[in-house]
Amino acid sequence: MTIATPLADERDEFPTVAEAYKTKLGKMYQGTVEDFLDLQGKKLKGKVQLVFFSPPFPLKRKKKYGNKDGDEYLAWLQKLAPRLADLLTEDGSLVVEIGNAWDPGKPTMSLLPLQSLMAIAEGGDLNICQQFVCNNPARLPTPAQWVNIERIRVKDSYTHLWWMSKSERPKASNRNVLQDYSPSMQALLKRGHYNHGTRDSGYDIGETSFLTNNGGAIPSNVFNFSNTVANDAYRRYCREHGLKPHPAPMQAKLADWFIRFLTDKDDLVFDPFGGSNTTGAMAEQLGRRWLAVEPLADYIAGSKGRFEQFRAAGSEVS
């Protein structure tokens, strides 16, 4: 899902926005996010409950999906941020995934990702509700020069996700993302008692404080999601149709988690950098309406494979 808007001198390749396909609950458009907002921004203003996206990371090496760097990247994000913020409902949320960047030719990290966060938050006049970390333990060891060859760094395996909103109290419920209780907690609930009293930390643990079964544990803001499934429906579809899979798709579990946490059924979810359309597929699965926009036809064609599972339910791509 990590797809860039083409550089300014490349936008002539995508002069218009066209509907690429639709499902029961959503639509994928081909075009740039800027062109899409030019055409649809006023219509969608104040109607999107969640803008969820992973913009192109500020890489130094050009990719097929395009990427900017330095001041150009920051200026682009700051200009785009208010247009995305305008789409949000009063209690809507914007969640952006921002990866790390390294200084070219040096074993030192760039401040550009942090500056990017500021560009989005300040450009969109948004509150930062919470920071999340997504660790991918299966990520390849990079940066290769410093990790594999010189062995002077460890692999860079995580990204940050920043939850923002116009409101200080956007719609959210951690009850929608409870995780299974640990075996020890399950045993405690079954046993019905535990060692209560004052702890060394000063906390006074009541006799029944942890005996209520709430249906699961409140999760932390740190995820461990791998993205290495080689034979999922999306990749099988790409192989069968001779399509190259997107090189940096969003983890399905990540999109699923934030959609459940921040939206309700029938809410509208928008991904301005659709890529392989993980966001749209997870929104469809969860009964949310969705919109996505993506400039590259190859990635759009492959993204249809994410909806194969919905054919039997009448949500076939058309």
β-pairing, 197-198 vs 289-294, is unpaired
Partners of residue 223 on adjacent β-strands:
134
Rounded CA-CA distance 313/318 in Å is 14
- pLDDT value, residue 314: 55
- pLDDT value, residue 95: 98
Rounded CA-CA distance 116/78 in Å is 8
Residue 44 has pLDDT above 60, yes or no: yes
For tokens 């999601």, the residue is: 225
Please report, as a single letter, which amino acid is at residue 77. Answer: L
Burial of residue 1, with CB atoms counted within 10 A of its CB: 0-12 exposed, 13-18 middle, 19 or more buried: buried
For tokens 């396909």, the residue is: 21
CA distances from 38 to 73, 85, 93, 175, 205 (A): 20, 14, 21, 37, 56
Read off the pLDDT of residues 190-232 as tens digits, 9 standing for 90 and up.
888 888 888 887 778 887 777 888 889 999 999 998 766 666 8
Domain ranges of the chain: 8-175+219-304, 179-217
SS (H, E, C) 229-272: CCCCHHHHHHHHCCCCCCCCCCCHHHHHHHHHHHCCCCCEEEEC
Confidence (pTM)? 0.86
- pLDDT value, residue 15: 52
Rounded CA-CA distance 23/12 in Å is 28
Q: Directed axis angle between helix 70-85 and helix 112-123, to 10°?
A: 30
- pLDDT value, residue 198: 86
Residue 67 has pLDDT above 80, yes or no: no
Read off the pLDDT of residues 102-156 as tens digits, 9 standing for 90 and up.
898 999 999 999 999 999 999 999 999 999 999 998 888 999 999 999 999 999 9
For residues 70 and 103, the answer to whether their CB atoms sit within 8 Å is no
11-35 mean pLDDT:
85
Residue 311 has pLDDT above 70, yes or no: no
Task: Provide the strand spans (E) within the chain.
Answer: 18-22, 26-30, 48-53, 88-98, 127-135, 158-165, 197-198, 204-205, 222-224, 268-271, 289-294
Rounded CA-CA distance 284/139 in Å is 27
Read off the pLDDT of residues 283-300 as tens digits, 9 standing for 90 and up.
999 999 999 999 999 999
For residues 130 and 171, the answer to whether their CB atoms sit within 8 Å is no
* 279/206: higher pLDDT: 279
Rg for the chain (alpha carbons), in Å?
Answer: 21
- CATH fit for domain 8-175+219-304, picks 1.10.10.10, 3.40.50.1010, 3.40.50.740, 3.40.50.150: 3.40.50.150
The closest of 158, 166, 8, 164 to 73, measured between CA atoms, is: 8
